[in-house]
Structure 1
Amino acid sequence: MRCPVLAALAWPALLLAAPQGGCPAPSVAHQQGFDAAALCAVVRAFDASALNYHSLLVERHGVQVAEAYRAGRDRSIYSLFARTVDFGPQVSHDMRSISKSVTSLLWGIAAGQGLMPSVDTPVTAVLPELADPARPELNSITIEHLLNMSSGLAWNEPGVYNRFNDEFGLYWRGAPAGHVLGKPVVTAPGTRFNYNGGGTAILAQILEQRTGMALPDYAQRYLFGPLGITAWSWQRDLRGRALAFAGLRLRPRDLQKLGRLMLQQGRWEERQVVPAAWVAASLQPRLATGDGLQYGYQWWMGSTQALGLPQRWVAGFGNGGQRLFIVPGLDMTVVVTAGEYDKPELGPTYTRLLDSVAAAVEAP
């Protein structure tokens, strides 16, 4: 009989000569509720895929069940040319736009400290220097609209990143917030999703002003430090500012820690790192994205199937195939890293990988 997990994957050139190693220990897989053979099939399909995958990690109930790495071509955010990297547990990877989800966590921490304005506050009330009497419509854009990418601003940010992409200006302009809010308001704020990394840049600017700390310093003290994440970096723009929307580099295992943090409602060991109320608010679907998914406060949402039921997931997405999937109903996280940059058409492929892992779950 054909393995249903392999049939569900439907990846290009999937079944090349599959390697023999890399499968999880059957005892560990069974203890965490997986069909060990089915999960092994997923790992082998990952190993054999013609796509430029770099890592696949599966964790459930706080236990690392599967972990696989591959060498592959990669380029950091400022690199013009790709190079071959032998990826492994100790090698950091660009997170690209998963940086946005982490910035949202930092905002929530600062909000819990009483440092941030409420989400219904107009942006121009926080940054009055950007108010424009000739454009009163700007006053209707709130912090929440930046968080859920519904500002209504004209902003073109397709999956291919070049000089025609509005995000490009965020790397070098002296006043990124002015660059973003200088765009015309073309739809009523709060009514339509439009992907906009510029909103994240504004959130980071406000966070730095209110906390009195640079974004990486704040992240180290209040997020990465408490989680024991030590090998990380946050790349900066051409003027030395952390790229809140795209610049974070983490090891896949540390990205996985952030997923477990979310599953634990912001708690890590004996410490409430992110307020539980912020985690819940962040993961509340706010807007349909137009491709069958939904969006919260810098987090994506969708569903998969497992144990005969639909299972909701939330995720951080990053250009090139960076994914942190969190499946609360299965108490599971799945991390994927890859080097398929500027290929938005491959987005559903990474979700099918999650679907295949979920299909291997056989017990709660």
Structure 2
Amino acid sequence: MKIVKRAYILKSVFYAALLFVLFSCSNKHRRISFYAYSTPRPLNDDIPVGTVNRCGLDSQKINKLTRLILADSIPNIHSLLIEKDGKLIYEQYFAGKDEIWGKDLGYAEHSVNDLHDVRSISKSIVSACIGIAINQHLIKDINQPVFSFFPEYSQYNTSEKKNITIRQLLTMSSGLSWDEGNNDELKNCESIMEHSSNPLAFILSRPIAVTPGTTWNYNSGGTQLLAAIIKKVSGEDINNYATKNLFTPLGITSHVWIKMDGGDPAAASGLRLRSRDLLKFAMLYANHGIYNQKQILPSKWVDSSSTIAIKRPEEEGPGGYGYQFWIDSIKVNRKGLEAVAAKGNGGQRIFVLNPYHMIVIITVGNYGKSLRNDSQALFIHYIIPAIQ
């Protein structure tokens, strides 16, 4: 009888343990669903904080959005920050699957101090550095021919390419044949560039597809050339130049710029920053180049960067393109609105809404995926309607 009872107890303990393990595994990657709004923490980083209720946003809609993110109804969001009228009023970080430039991190926690891949938001940082270099008289202006900086590659300077300027690199209208949409790494121009022992030769040797300055075509090679121009005129790679002339003035003390196989920083996609530091960069553009009462970027450069310089193809969505910035056309209450945006693979987003004195920062882990309910949709369908 005792043996039977003992066996029963052991069996019960076994099944209880099994249920516990199964329950734990099934909830291992489940976010906590409870949410109550709290004001962002004031930190020693020159970012003022405020509350949602006092800034003209519908707090109920923002709370609903947060619960949707927690439930993964909007998949794998890692951080969401909202700045309004000069104050950070919303700041939340979420766990989720993540990568470092293609290296799988698994399911990761995210917090205010964590660096995150910003992918092609790196391009907008490079653009800012070009503006600074012009202000420092290291570059005359954006109408300088690209090949004037690379005489060692004169063999690629054909008559068709002589007219390619810095302006056309900034606006992705160089006319060079370039395909980043190919899933085959052996045919994807960005991938070939990143693995090349001489990426500049690869970029500059590309044939001309259309007349320079006439057609927008997404081209990370152009950004790499902009970074190479920075190095030519300053003697510093884009990482060191940005650190000295942009990040340090903004109080950005932690970042990583991943390098390509050839040894140079991946100017178009390799930067890792904290979400609050993305906000600092965005505030620079919202405030005409001024941060913490200091003019870091010329106001004319900010205005030109944030203005449509060339129209994008219809399949890229309504709007145009500035100097390595997207200018998105959005309808709000049946009225047109322009949002200045920096965008990166996986859903990384900076949105600057100047008419509403508002900035939105989003980091996400959906690298290489095309989703309908992505960070762009989050902004348009949930945050924009919350503006009162």
| TM-score, reference length from structure 1 | 0.89
1:319 aligns with 2:345: yes
Cα distance 1:153–1:17, how it changes in 2: closer, same or farther (>3 A)?
Answer: closer
* AA partner of residue 106 (structure 1): C
1:73 aligns with 2:97: yes
In structure 2, the residue corresponding to 1:255 is in which secondary structure?
helix
* Aligned twin of 2:84: 60
In structure 1, the residue corresponding to 2:246 is in which secondary structure?
helix
* Aligned twin of 1:168: 191
| TM-score, reference length from structure 2 | 0.84
CA offsets 1:263-296 (integer angstroms, 9 cap, x no match): 0011112211111111111111012221223111
* Aligned twin of 1:131: 154
**1:109 deviation in Å?**
0.7
**1:334 deviation in Å?**
0.7
1:289 aligns with 2:312: yes
Match of 1:21 among 35, 48, 60: 35
Cα distance between partner residues in 1 of 2:201 and 2:267: 16
In structure 2, the residue corresponding to 1:56 is in which secondary structure?
strand
Show the 5 A alignment for 1:276-355: 276-290=299-313, 291=316, 292-306=318-332, 309-343=335-369, 345-346=370-371, 349-355=374-380
Show the 5 A alignment for 1:199-214: 199-214=222-237
Deviates more, 1:152-161 or 1:135-144: 152-161
**1:306 deviation in Å?**
4.3
* AA partner of residue 299 (structure 2): A
**1:128 deviation in Å?**
2.3
Please tell me whether the aligned partners of residues 24 and 36 of structure 1 are also in contact (alpha carbons under 8 angstroms): no
**Larger RCO: 1 or 2 (CA < 8 Å, sep 6+):** 1
Deviates more, 1:232-241 or 1:91-100: 232-241
CA offsets 1:295-323 (integer angstroms, 9 cap, x no match): 11100011334466432101111011111
Q: CA RMSD in A?
A: 2.2
Cα distance between partner residues in 2 of 1:358 and 1:257: 21
Cα distance between partner residues in 2 of 1:194 and 1:101: 16
* AA partner of residue 115 (structure 1): L
**1:346 deviation in Å?**
2.7
* Aligned twin of 1:4: none
Show the 5 A alignment for 1:98-247: 98-132=121-155, 135-158=158-181, 160=183, 162-247=185-270
* Aligned twin of 2:55: 32
Whose radius of gyration is greater, 1 or 2?
A: 2
Cα distance between partner residues in 2 of 1:186 and 1:214: 29
In structure 1, the residue corresponding to 2:361 is in which secondary structure?
strand
* AA partner of residue 334 (structure 1): V
* AA partner of residue 209 (structure 1): K
**1:183 deviation in Å?**
1.1
Cα distance between partner residues in 2 of 1:44 and 1:348: 15
**1:160 deviation in Å?**
4.9
Cα distance between partner residues in 2 of 1:36 and 1:159: 42
**1:182 deviation in Å?**
0.9
CA offsets 1:102-151 (integer angstroms, 9 cap, x no match): 00001111111111132112111222222348821010111111110011
Please tell me whether the aligned partners of residues 56 and 69 of structure 1 are also in contact (alpha carbons under 8 angstroms): yes
